[in-house]
């Protein structure tokens, strides 16, 4: 998805996936980011990503399976391995997504753990006020039991990616026309 | 539900409800506690409950609507008003439940906030490992978008109350036959 | 401190204080923001602040006493009263500070609760990677037992305000010279 | 410290330590537990501990260095490796401790993460209301910048271990004389 002509805002979607659920979420998050035309997107598993990808990115969406109510060992290791870069990457924009075994199983807490890790690197992190379907939102990141299948579940991932792209466009590149407050799409059901 | 003959374990279900959703949850939680025969149960809104109810209880289930990803002002006020009793009620057993506007809307975080408040009073707090339906659990307390309607949503509240009663029976009254590890009911779907 | 000529970035420091400790922190936070010359600053208690102050602000630092490991009733009420403005103020930049009764008493958790509330309004929230003295930092907001007295404690509040001003200057007004990564001040001890 | 005659309550102190700080904390926690005479104690690093130690224990104190505001990879791995035992060890009593690089550096959040992990296994978790020195407490677990050196820092670790032993004696063995509410030691400064 990279190196498209006329694109300059950089978004990295990184994920760790055990059963393919978080990978599926990552793909929808990336799709959502691509709704903003100026954004170039990389999507990588934590095995593929490295510190250069982090430096490259203006905004980062990080996804982990919910494992015991927090990030997986593998996802945590990715961020610990990045420690030599600490205090050199402050100010990036971050958000989170997670797939849990069942609703009520800790995906919100896992998103919060991911945001905590990113805050530790000096990132500005956010959730999304929008509802993307009846009784379905992503206030602290996109959460999901298992794999996203229903329309609202897919919309939740996409909205996260779109919002990240909007903030990057607006804050990193001064493109105020992408302020979601001016968006003409449905934000509440 | 009080003062039944032959009952001696004391459970208090307290709730704050705006739209009636958390109240409904509270009723199912109390029903779940009543599955353990030796348990006497009080269910009270925070307007009805007072410090004597807290002293009376061995175990407390507290429910709040999710308001901005944490407990409501009213529920918080109940616990702040209890501050003169601080360091006098350590060791009670606590758990939490919350109704949010939509899935992903902060109910897990609100349960965690309730547990944090109870830990501040020295309580021992818990969640439930059981699944009560397909992709439906209550690892950090019972969570719900809106009102509980579906069978698994109702089962989640009931299971929370039952588990609280089991721990009270086992830990406060030495009734090891109520250890849920010996239970003959379905704990995973 | 308002309406200085040539200033255009807007920072609001809001606080609730019981014993004057959080108020003292708020004053140091505001001092820190004033280290960035283009920033106009308002400092208000939650009794003085209203929704117009929120709309006015590009960046908001919110401070609460630690009460039972989370925000005080009064601080929570301020944000609940703001609910009619929900989904109209997304994208502001936010950070937190809190005074607790003793170290280990919940100030970090209270900062996290404040950040959670601000995320619920769609804010981008951050902590600070810098150390401001030996074994003293503010990774999730400025925390303090009692009143700030020691140099490092005061520096912690000031650094929070400065960082908020830096992000506002850089992200809201494109002033990349204020990127803290380019700062010539000590960031680690 | 094991197999002392006349001892029957079982406490396991497990830790991961990078710089020796958390190990030092673990030793003081174990000392605190030994203040209750009926308690047998094992202290093990996560490399030495295994599932049999978990089964053996009535109460578990878990300690991790603060790494990016949450548990270290190694500590998390210990608990993920235990997943085959999930739903078989509900109802143990748990608490947490953590050493961070500097105050405000995430040790409270790390304790909360440890408690979250233990709750996911169905444990009943707690903090301590006591103050152990001027402006020094452990409401969500014992926290420490670097190594415990000062008297209050050491007292904090010891008090955590003692409280764990008290709850185990009282709840698992019906020894109500160990209820800390009846203790004759100083609980507030």
Q: Which residues contact D136 (CB under 8 A, 6 or more apart)?
A: C102, C103, C104, C145, D152, D153, D155, D156, D189
- For residue C6, what pLDDT is reported? 80
CB C93 within 8 A of CB A125: no
pTM score: 0.97
Residue of chain C whose Cα is closest to the Cα of A138: C120
Pairing mode, if any, of strands D128-133 and D136-138?
antiparallel
Instruction: Tell me if A125 and C140 make a contact (CB, 8 A cut-off).
Output: no
* CA gyration radius, chain A: 15
Instruction: Tell me if D73 and A70 make a contact (CB, 8 A cut-off).
Output: no
Pairing mode, if any, of strands C128-133 and C136-138?
antiparallel
Pairing mode, if any, of strands A93-100 and A9-15?
unpaired
Instruction: Find chain C residues with C-beta within 8 A of A139's C-beta.
Output: 119-120
Question: For chain A, what is the mean pLDDT?
Answer: 96
**C contact test, residue of B62, B68, B75, B100 with most C CBs within 10 A:** B68
Which pair of structure tokens corresponds to residue D181? 């509410």
Residue of chain C whose Cα is closest to the Cα of A180: C90
How many Å separate Cα D35 from the centre of its chain? 14
- For residue C2, what pLDDT is reported? 43
Query: What's the gap in Å between the CA of D100 and the closest CA on chain C?
Result: 9
Instruction: Tell me if D116 and A68 make a contact (CB, 8 A cut-off).
Output: yes
Q: Rounded distance, CA B171 to CA B58, Å?
A: 10
- For residue A4, what pLDDT is reported? 59
Alpha-helical runs (H) found in chain B: 21-33, 51-56, 73-81, 107-120, 151-167, 173
Residue of chain A whose Cα is closest to the Cα of D81: A73
C179-to-C137, C142, C161, C186 alpha-carbon distances in Å: 19, 20, 14, 14
Look at residue B100 and give its three-state secondary structure: strand
Which pair of structure tokens corresponds to residue D56? 């053996």
What pLDDT band is residue B189 in, cutting at 50, 70 and 90?
A: confident
Query: What's the gap in Å between the CA of B165 and the closest CA on chain D?
Result: 13
Instruction: Find chain D residues with C-beta within 8 A of C136's C-beta.
Output: 102-104, 145
What pLDDT band is residue C41 in, cutting at 50, 70 and 90?
A: very high
Query: What's the gap in Å between the CA of D26 and the closest CA on chain A?
Result: 23
Which pair of structure tokens corresponds to residue B52? 């004597």
Q: Over 50: is that where the pLDDT of A129 sits? A: yes
Pairing mode, if any, of strands C124-125 and C9-15?
unpaired
The neighbours of chain A, by the rule of 3 or more Cβ pairs under 8 Å, are B, C, D
- For residue B4, what pLDDT is reported? 59
Which pair of structure tokens corresponds to residue C139? 């990774």
- For residue D143, what pLDDT is reported? 98
Pairing mode, if any, of strands C9-15 and C93-100?
unpaired
Q: Which residues contact B13 (CB under 8 A, 6 or more apart)?
A: B26, B29, B30, B33, B41, B42, B43, B44, B60, B61, B63, B161
Instruction: Tell me if D67 and A80 make a contact (CB, 8 A cut-off).
Output: yes
Which parts of D46-125 are beta strand (E)? Answer: 59-65, 93-100, 124-125
Residue of chain A whose Cα is closest to the Cα of C118: A126
Instruction: Find chain B residues with C-beta within 8 A of D167's C-beta.
Output: 91, 124
Question: For chain C, what is the mean pLDDT?
Answer: 96
- In 3D space, the residue among C52, C55, C43, C41 whose CA is nearest the CA of residue C4 turns out to be C41
Instruction: Tell me if C104 and D136 make a contact (CB, 8 A cut-off).
Output: yes
Q: Over 90: is that where the pLDDT of A91 sits? A: yes
Q: Helix-strand-coil percent breakdown of chain C, rounded to 5?
A: 40, 25, 35
Q: Rounded distance, CA A47 to CA C174, Å?
A: 34
Q: Rounded distance, CA B16 to CA B30, Å?
A: 15
C145 closest CB neighbour out of D102, D135, D156: D135
Biggest distance spanned by C-alpha atoms of chain C: 44
pLDDT tens for each residue of B33-89: 999 999 999 999 999 999 999 999 999 999 999 999 999 999 999 999 999 999 999
CB B128 within 8 A of CB B137: yes
ipTM of the complex: 0.96
Q: Rounded distance, CA B128 to CA B142, Å?
A: 9
* CA gyration radius, chain C: 15
Instruction: Tell me if B124 and D120 make a contact (CB, 8 A cut-off).
Output: no
What pLDDT band is residue B1 in, cutting at 50, 70 and 90?
A: very low
CA-angle at A74, arms to A73 and A76, nearest 5°: 65
Query: What's the gap in Å between the CA of D113 and the closest CA on chain C?
Result: 11
- In 3D space, the residue among A160, A79, A64 whose CA is nearest the CA of residue A123 turns out to be A79
- For residue B163, what pLDDT is reported? 98
CB B9 within 8 A of CB B173: yes
Instruction: Tell me if D137 and C69 make a contact (CB, 8 A cut-off).
Output: no
Instruction: Find chain A residues with C-beta within 8 A of B146's C-beta.
Output: 135
Instruction: Tell me if A91 and C167 make a contact (CB, 8 A cut-off).
Output: yes
Size of interface A-C (CB pairs under 8 A): 79
Query: What's the gap in Å between the CA of B128 and the closest CA on chain D?
Result: 6
Mean local confidence (pLDDT), C96-124: 98
Alpha-helical runs (H) found in chain A: 21-33, 51-56, 73-81, 107-120, 151-167, 173
pLDDT in 10s for each residue of chain D, 189 residues: 444 568 899 999 999 999 999 999 999 999 999 999 999 999 999 999 999 999 999 999 999 999 999 999 999 999 999 999 999 999 999 999 999 999 999 999 999 999 999 999 999 999 999 999 999 999 999 999 999 999 999 999 999 999 999 999 999 999 999 999 998 899 998
Using CB atoms within 10 Å of the CB of residue D147, give its burial: 0 to 12 exposed, 13 to 18 middle, 19+ buried.
middle
Q: Rounded distance, CA A164 to CA A84, Å?
A: 26
Q: Rounded distance, CA D90 to CA B184, Å?
A: 15
- For residue D1, what pLDDT is reported? 41
């Amino acid at each position: 998805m990279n190196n498209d002509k006329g694109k300059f805002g950089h978004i990295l979607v990184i994920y760790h996936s055990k059963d393919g659920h978080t990978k599926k979420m990552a793909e929808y998050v990336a799709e959502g980011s691509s709704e903003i035309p100026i954004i170039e997107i990389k999507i990588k598993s934590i095995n593929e990503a490295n510190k250069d990808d982090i430096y490259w990115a203006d905004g980062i969406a990080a996804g982990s399976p919910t494992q015991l109510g927090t990030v997986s060992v593998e996802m945590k290791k990715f961020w610990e391995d990045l420690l030599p870069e600490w205090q050199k990457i402050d100010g990036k924009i971050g958000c989170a997504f997670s797939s849990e075994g069942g609703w009520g199983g800790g995906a919100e807490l896992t998103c919060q753990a991911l945001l905590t890790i990113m805050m530790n690197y000096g990132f500005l992190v956010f959730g999304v006020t929008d509802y993307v379907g009846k009784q379905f939102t992503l206030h602290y990141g996109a959460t999901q039991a298992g794999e996203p299948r229903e329309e609202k579940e897919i919309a939740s991932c996409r909205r996260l990616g779109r919002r990240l792209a909007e903030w990057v466009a607006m804050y990193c590149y001064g493109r105020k026309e992408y302020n979601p407050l001016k968006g003409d799409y449905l934000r509440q059901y």
